């Protein structure tokens, strides 16, 4: 059994067994626990006029499948 990407919850898989004369049914019950998925960081591009200013919003294009709040932990290799 391989669950779909990002799936979590319960799965019931029914099956039937036989001894050649009679049958019996049962279920395999599988609980898929959620896992924390890594966020997806996207490169940002900005254009600014000479002597102009620009406001950087580095998290604006980044996402997290789990809906966790994103934060910046380092800039150019320097921890914040």
Q: What local confidence, expressed as pLDDT, does residue 6 receive?
A: 85
pLDDT digits (tens, 9 = 90+) for 5-43: 889 999 999 999 999 999 999 999 999 999 899 999 999
DSSP 20: S
**pTM of the predicted model as reported, rounded to 2 decimal places:** 0.60
| Token pair of 65 as six digits | 């499948």
Question: Distance between alpha carbon 69 and the CA centroid of its chain, in Å?
Answer: 13
Q: Are 57 and 70 in contact (CB under 8 A)?
A: no
- Look-up of token digits 């997806």: 40
């Amino acid at each position: 059994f391989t669950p779909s990407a990002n799936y979590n919850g319960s799965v019931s898989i029914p099956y039937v067994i036989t001894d050649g004369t009679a049958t019996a049914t049962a279920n395999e019950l599988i609980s898929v626990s959620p896992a924390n998925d890594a966020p997806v960081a996207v490169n940002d591009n900005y254009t600014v006029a000479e002597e102009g200013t620009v406001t950087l919003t580095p998290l604006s294009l980044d996402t997290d499948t789990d809906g966790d709040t994103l934060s910046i932990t380092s800039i150019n290799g320097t921890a914040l």
